[in-house]
Amino acid sequence: MLVLENIIADRGSKYAVSGGPCKSADEAKAFIAELKRSKKFAKATHNTWALVCGDGAIKSDDGESGAGMIILQMLQHENLTDHIVVVTRWYGGKHLGGDRFRHVQSAVRTYLAELGASPQR
Protein backbone atom coordinates (compact mmCIF):
# COMPACT_ATOMS: atom_id res chain seq x y z
CA MET A 1 0.00 0.00 0.00
CA LEU A 2 1.36 3.37 -1.04
CA VAL A 3 0.00 6.35 0.94
CA LEU A 4 0.86 9.97 0.11
CA GLU A 5 -0.52 12.32 2.77
CA ASN A 6 -1.05 16.08 2.83
CA ILE A 7 -0.43 16.49 -0.88
CA ILE A 8 -3.02 19.25 -1.35
CA ALA A 9 -4.46 21.83 1.04
CA ASP A 10 -7.12 24.36 0.04
CA ARG A 11 -9.35 26.52 2.23
CA GLY A 12 -8.91 24.16 5.16
CA SER A 13 -9.56 20.95 3.22
CA LYS A 14 -6.69 18.48 3.03
CA TYR A 15 -6.16 15.64 0.58
CA ALA A 16 -4.23 12.39 0.55
CA VAL A 17 -4.00 9.66 -2.08
CA SER A 18 -3.28 5.98 -1.64
CA GLY A 19 -3.48 2.78 -3.59
CA GLY A 20 -2.16 -0.65 -4.26
CA PRO A 21 -2.73 -3.92 -6.08
CA CYS A 22 -6.37 -4.99 -6.06
CA LYS A 23 -8.15 -7.56 -8.23
CA SER A 24 -11.79 -7.60 -7.11
CA ALA A 25 -14.59 -5.76 -5.37
CA ASP A 26 -13.95 -7.86 -2.25
CA GLU A 27 -10.27 -6.90 -2.25
CA ALA A 28 -11.30 -3.24 -2.67
CA LYS A 29 -13.52 -3.48 0.43
CA ALA A 30 -10.63 -5.04 2.35
CA PHE A 31 -8.25 -2.31 1.11
CA ILE A 32 -10.61 0.45 2.30
CA ALA A 33 -11.10 -1.32 5.64
CA GLU A 34 -7.31 -1.55 6.09
CA LEU A 35 -6.92 2.14 5.21
CA LYS A 36 -9.58 3.08 7.76
CA ARG A 37 -7.76 1.15 10.48
CA SER A 38 -5.83 4.39 10.80
CA LYS A 39 -7.98 6.78 12.86
CA LYS A 40 -6.92 9.62 10.61
CA PHE A 41 -8.43 7.96 7.52
CA ALA A 42 -11.44 6.63 9.42
CA LYS A 43 -12.32 10.21 10.39
CA ALA A 44 -11.92 11.55 6.84
CA THR A 45 -14.97 13.16 5.26
CA HIS A 46 -14.55 11.22 2.00
CA ASN A 47 -12.55 8.20 0.85
CA THR A 48 -13.39 8.09 -2.86
CA TRP A 49 -11.91 5.33 -4.97
CA ALA A 50 -11.92 3.44 -8.25
CA LEU A 51 -10.65 0.15 -9.61
CA VAL A 52 -10.54 -1.52 -13.03
CA CYS A 53 -10.32 -5.29 -12.62
CA GLY A 54 -11.75 -8.63 -13.72
CA ASP A 55 -15.01 -7.67 -11.97
CA GLY A 56 -15.23 -4.64 -14.29
CA ALA A 57 -15.00 -0.95 -13.49
CA ILE A 58 -15.88 -0.23 -9.87
CA LYS A 59 -16.02 3.16 -8.15
CA SER A 60 -17.26 4.82 -4.99
CA ASP A 61 -17.89 8.53 -4.47
CA ASP A 62 -18.26 8.13 -0.68
CA GLY A 63 -20.35 11.30 -0.61
CA GLU A 64 -18.08 13.33 -2.92
CA SER A 65 -20.40 13.23 -5.93
CA GLY A 66 -18.56 12.52 -9.19
CA ALA A 67 -15.11 12.01 -7.67
CA GLY A 68 -15.10 8.23 -8.15
CA MET A 69 -15.81 8.66 -11.86
CA ILE A 70 -12.88 11.05 -12.23
CA ILE A 71 -10.53 8.53 -10.63
CA LEU A 72 -11.96 5.72 -12.77
CA GLN A 73 -11.53 7.67 -16.01
CA MET A 74 -7.93 8.47 -15.14
CA LEU A 75 -7.17 4.80 -14.40
CA GLN A 76 -8.77 3.75 -17.68
CA HIS A 77 -6.79 6.41 -19.57
CA GLU A 78 -3.57 5.03 -18.08
CA ASN A 79 -4.68 1.41 -18.70
CA LEU A 80 -3.99 0.70 -15.04
CA THR A 81 -5.82 -2.47 -14.09
CA ASP A 82 -5.95 -4.56 -10.92
CA HIS A 83 -4.96 -1.50 -8.90
CA ILE A 84 -7.10 0.61 -6.56
CA VAL A 85 -6.59 4.35 -6.10
CA VAL A 86 -8.21 6.16 -3.17
CA VAL A 87 -8.41 9.96 -2.79
CA THR A 88 -9.11 11.00 0.77
CA ARG A 89 -10.47 14.41 1.74
CA TRP A 90 -10.81 16.01 5.13
CA TYR A 91 -13.38 18.80 4.76
CA GLY A 92 -12.09 22.14 5.98
CA GLY A 93 -15.38 23.98 6.45
CA LYS A 94 -15.58 25.82 3.13
CA HIS A 95 -17.11 24.54 -0.09
CA LEU A 96 -14.58 24.21 -2.90
CA GLY A 97 -17.02 23.96 -5.80
CA GLY A 98 -15.37 22.68 -8.97
CA ASP A 99 -11.92 23.04 -7.42
CA ARG A 100 -12.54 19.78 -5.55
CA PHE A 101 -12.49 17.91 -8.88
CA ARG A 102 -9.22 19.53 -9.88
CA HIS A 103 -7.79 18.45 -6.54
CA VAL A 104 -8.95 14.86 -7.10
CA GLN A 105 -7.26 14.90 -10.52
CA SER A 106 -4.06 16.37 -9.06
CA ALA A 107 -4.03 13.76 -6.31
CA VAL A 108 -4.40 10.91 -8.82
CA ARG A 109 -1.71 12.42 -11.07
CA THR A 110 0.63 12.62 -8.08
CA TYR A 111 -0.06 8.98 -7.25
CA LEU A 112 0.42 7.82 -10.84
CA ALA A 113 3.71 9.73 -11.07
CA GLU A 114 4.91 8.13 -7.85
CA LEU A 115 3.78 4.72 -9.07
CA GLY A 116 5.59 5.23 -12.36
CA ALA A 117 8.79 5.88 -10.42
CA SER A 118 8.20 2.69 -8.42
CA PRO A 119 9.38 -0.73 -9.56
CA GLN A 120 5.91 -2.11 -8.64
CA ARG A 121 4.31 -0.96 -11.87
* Distance of alpha carbon 99 from alpha carbon 58, whole angstroms: 24
Taking only the tens place, the pLDDT of each residue in 9-45 is 999 999 999 999 999 999 999 999 999 999 999 999 9
Domain contains 121: no
**DSSP SS3 for 42:** helix
Question: Residue 2 pLDDT more than 70?
Answer: yes
Question: Residue 97 pLDDT more than 70?
Answer: yes
Q: Could you tell me the residue range of the domain that residue 23 belongs to?
A: 2-116
Question: Residue 120 pLDDT more than 60?
Answer: no
Domain contains 12: yes
Question: Residue 6 pLDDT more than 90?
Answer: no
Domain contains 64: yes
Domain contains 87: yes
Structural domains of the chain, count? 1
- Give the CATH number for residue 105: 3.30.230.30
With vertex at residue 36, the alpha carbon angle to CA 54 and CA 80, rounded to the nearest 5 degrees, is 30
